[in-house]
Amino acid sequence: MVPGWVTELGVAASVVISVAAIWGDRIRGTLLRPRLTLSMSNRHGALETILEDARFVAARYYRVRVTNRASHPEAREVEVLLTRLELRGPDGNPQRAREELLPLMWQHHQLYSPARTVGRTTVAEADLLIACEDRLQWALTLTPFNFPATMRGETHLWVTLVARGLNGESNPLRLRVDWDGKWNRGDSEMATHLVIAPDP
């Protein structure tokens, strides 16, 4: 004769197995999620050389870094999206100019698909702005017709970004961009002309 507790244990095990079979993916998806974060990569930007009109010119790339703080799972099909653009109004305060989802280009975008997998050890940086001697321009994979893709002269704006994948999303990152319209090759000198900093 089988003791009662053995029968009860068998029933309980059957219930657990049934729940795991039916709801296992949903439970894993709730408990094990990527923890995406978005931050400025280098506040001074990276001085690089680009080819423009058949000549080499200096440009400074300002990038944001996407990380996944969870050891498991990887974040799948991640893009960095510009979600809001605000321009400085006459009173000096931000005024909403655009609100849409515009994907940024990954650094070395020729090597990657537009949507990337981001694991715990992945180094994923997206180009945000490119500063040249005479302009500041967005690094978008596509630019709507009426979007201010290039800015010349003194510029003050706020931009909100988010890293979004199929199974996870970062908190929004709001950055303030202040440029006096001047250019310099030196890191510390350029930092006095163009400042990009978090502005919650």
User: By C-alpha distance, which of 44, 29, 39 is closest to 163?
Assistant: 39
Residue-wise pLDDT tens digits, 178-192: 999 999 999 999 999
Residue 152: beta bridge partners?
none
pTM: 0.83
43: left (phi over 0), alpha (psi -120 to 50) or beta: alpha
> Average pLDDT of the chain?
90
Give the Cα separation of 200 and 194 in Å (integer): 19
Q: How far is CA 92 from the centre of its chain?
A: 27
Amino acid in the structure at residue 157: L
DSSP symbols for 12-72: HHHHHHHHHHHHHHHHHHHHS---EEEEES-TT-EEEEEEETTEEEEEEEEEEEEEE--SS
| Kind and range of the H or E run holding 195 | strand 194-198
Residue 194: beta bridge partners?
179
Q: How far is CA 155 from the centre of its chain?
A: 22
C-alpha distance from residue 143 to each of 4, 16, 177 (Å) = 70, 51, 19
Residue-wise pLDDT tens digits, 18-73: 666 675 555 555 557 999 999 999 889 999 999 888 899 999 999 999 999 998 99
